[in-house]
A and B are shown apart, each in its own frame.
Chain A
Amino acid sequence: MPDERRRGSFPSSENGQGEEVVSAGLRGIVESLVAARDEGAPVVLGVPRSMEGVLGGVALTYLAHSDPSSTRVCDRKELQPGLLERVLLVSEASEDELVPLARRVWQSLGQRCGAGCTNRILYACASDDPNMPQVVSRYVRLSFSLGRTVTTSLAHADVLAIDTLARQVSSECEKTRQFARFSHLPSGGWFCSFSPRANTLPLCAQHFSRRMRGDRFCMLDPIHGVAVFHEAGERTARVARLDPGMARQMGERASDVDAEERKFQEMWATFYRSMELPGRDAASRGYDLRIQFMPKRLWDSLPELAKTPASPYAGWASKPQGTLGQQRIGSA
């Protein structure tokens, strides 16, 4: 699709000055992409699994005027080359050099296609789906080709693919906002460890910064090795990538709670159990409605589902009562 490629190219590369925006570390990859294009060889480009990595990778294929039909963008850690495919990898040393390229693609997309397009990309890039880099790459090319109409081309295969990823991530973000649970640390401040099925903490950090502006808190995602740090009074939080050792060390703080914290967790469990209404449970419905909204994979981190001592008054309103005359068993 030569027309599409030309329309989506960087203006600088259209003028034959594409190399000027590429650092020395990435120039070799662009040259290899150009060589593959000239020889008609299929290429798989391995990039870091991040928005910067994927958009930077797409930028490299634009700069090389690669043929989209024979160029794949993949996570470099999960890369599996196809038959006859040439493998090109963005090295860890060159990772930071992708950032200015990614920023350029991001800004161009915003101007050309609007926030509806960039929002989809933002959410899709947080997905754990192995095909994410290629799905995003195809959508970026389509967006540059169609302009603002990409947001209304809802039945296009590439739009459907990215919509599916973005919807999954959006749903996982909501679960993060719903089910992340904080504990008060004996040393002061709040801590939360949450294991989502997408890299949602960077997308939800602002939500928690607003909600807990006056507090110092830390959120940990041990699966994706990401932590969010917020200082009391700050408007924003800082997001950091952690190595596995550091993530494990931080995760151990989750169980570091004092008696006051345990008391609050028990009170929450008491309240939770009190909310159940008789005659509406799974047996009465034929299915468990709760699991649809609160997946079992998250239950271990929810204090309301932990076994805690019950109050002697638990469940009093769910038991059939007499009418008058029985002794009152409590008082104000």
Chain B
Amino acid sequence: MDAMDKLAILAEAAKFDAACTSSGVERGPRKGDVGDARAAGCCHSFAPDGRCITLLKVLMSNACSYDCAYCVNRRGASCPRATFSPKELAELTIGFYKRNYIEGLFLSSGVLGTPDETTERMIACLRTLRQDYHFNGYIHAKVIPGTSPELVRRLGLLADRLSSNVELPSSASLQALCPDKDSRAVLAPMGQIARGRREEESRLLAQGRGASLARRPASGDMGPGLGGAALRMTLNKSRSAVPNSHRKFAPAGQSTQLIVGASPETDRQILRLSESLYKKFDLKRVFFSAYMPMLSDSRLPEPGTPVPLRREHRLYQADWLMRYYDFSPGELVTEDRPWLDLDLDPKLAWAIANLDRFPVEVMTASLETLLRVPGIGPVGARRIIAARRTQRLSFDDLASLKITLKRARPFVTCCGRRDRGSVLDEGYLRRKAVEDARSTRYSHARREAEGQLSLF
């Protein structure tokens, strides 16, 4: 089997993993090495379905001794199998990188025998790439549940980002669908990675290698994407005093992925799990992957069931609100209403349910308050704060600042004035938002796929 066929098999086998980011670490070029790493990342292509392609995302091998019900590579699946040699993979990565096709490598693998044996092979691949081919670009490596701590540590010294997939939102579902995995084996490497990063941070700080936060870019000038990536967009989130470029162990941190729609958990359960993972393991991202029913199995939705794209989209929006807008899961979903509204984005749904907090005066509102207004994002909120230092803002000015007034108009006042024609009424706002949302091409297509949805 030649490299082309192996690539066709092992890329197909890896494509269900949602993570494809190359962000989180800044590493300059080194003499004799190939490439560098940019903290902002870079998407080099977009698949026909619109997802970005940043990394050469492949499995080292799709031969697997585990039998996860939803996985196309599972032990019992009838599929072509292949395994890359370290040299093949390294040459492919370097070749693609130099042509500016990718930012680096995303390496995962089926379980070849045991987790330790598999990780040893992955380490051999990455060592060849880093040491023999002097690759200085980005590497994301997947941690196989059950891998011994020493191997996780060695993997983390070769890769920029590590990820251990939670796979399913509850241990009951994991047990039902992945008989060879258990939640402790999944969470153990996450805990080890978080501890490893904290210990390295303490060590670097003790050596005086932390960066002064005061010296790092402030959010004064809201230029047009010029330096925007350097701005701190998160609220109430602790920020490491050690730049990632000083770290050696998993400098870009860790992430995880869970499958949505293959098991019965509610959005509330998923968001609460995400929050706890962010807090406990200092994750950079939780990725949601809408389940694609490809396999016939009585424990799973039938093949042909529409992919729950809207639900995945709402979960990403809610995750964004938690990470960048300081929302908590309890504000977005409750015990009584455990599902996100598929017709309204979660921020608008929250605003409509909390009309007593509006309207907000743009000339005096704090950053945190502005961020709660539908149609105002982190960049827009900071632009408002910068602009109001020098002038009184009108609705026209807000439009000039690229605020989405279609959303924000009913929820704000400018110098004490409401917009004429805007009504702050729950029924009206909800009806209008739903009408707008339902008239989009996306909604039409999804309704056709999913059947008519009940609105309330």
Contact = CB atoms under 8 A, between A and B. Distances in A.
Given A290-B49, A317-B12, A270 B7 contact: yes
B397 A321 contact: no
Given A190-B98, A286-B444, A331 B393 contact: no
A225 B297 CA distance: 59
B386 A328 contact: no
Interface string B414-456: 0000000000000000000000000011111110010000000
B4 A120 contact: no
A332 B83 contact: yes
B57 A275 contact: yes
Contacts of A319: 294
B207 interface: no
B234 to A, nearest CB: 22
B387 interface: yes
Nearest to B305: A279
B50 interface: yes
Contacts of B444: 286
Contact of A284 (B43, B44, B309): B309
B92 interface: yes
B15 A180 contact: no
Identify whether the interface residues of B are mostly helix, strand, loop, or mixed: loop
A171 to B, nearest CB: 7
Contact of A323 (B16, B76, B225): B76
Interface stretch (A11-19, A36-44, A47-55, A207-215): A207-215
A153 B391 contact: yes
A317 B45 contact: no
Contacts of B63: 332
A280 interface: yes
A281 interface: yes
A293 B42 CA distance: 12
B402 to A, nearest CB: 9
A234 to B, nearest CB: 11
B205 interface: no
B32 to A, nearest CB: 7
Given A151-B221, A183-B99, A293-B52, A267 B7 contact: yes
A192 B100 CA distance: 10
B12 A313 contact: yes
Nearest to A194: B100
A328 B15 contact: no
A302 B5 contact: no
Contacts of B12: 274, 313-318
Interface in B39-53: 42-53
A215 B98 contact: yes
Given A210-B36, A284-B309, A267 B3 contact: yes
A304 interface: yes
Given A151-B221, A166-B225, A294-B46, 11 more contacts: A154-B400, A170-B224, A181-B99, A182-B98, A277-B15, A283-B445, A284-B306, A311-B4, A313-B12, A324-B76, A330-B79
Interface of A: 114, 116, 119-120, 123, 149, 151-156, 160, 163-164, 166-167, 170-171, 174, 177-184, 190, 192, 208, 210-215, 233, 263-264, 266-268, 270-272, 274-290, 292-294, 302, 304, 310-332
11 contacts: A116-B227, A151-B221, A153-B391, A154-B222, A166-B226, A267-B95, A272-B47, A274-B7, A286-B441, A313-B9, A332-B61
Interface of B: 1, 3-5, 7-9, 11-13, 15-16, 28-29, 31-36, 42-53, 56-58, 61, 63, 72, 76-83, 92, 95-96, 98-101, 220-227, 290, 292, 294-297, 303, 306-307, 309, 383, 386-387, 389-391, 393, 397, 400-401, 440-446, 449
9 A-B pairs closest in CB distance: A289-B50, A330-B80, A286-B445, A326-B78, A311-B8, A167-B224, A279-B307, A286-B441, A116-B221
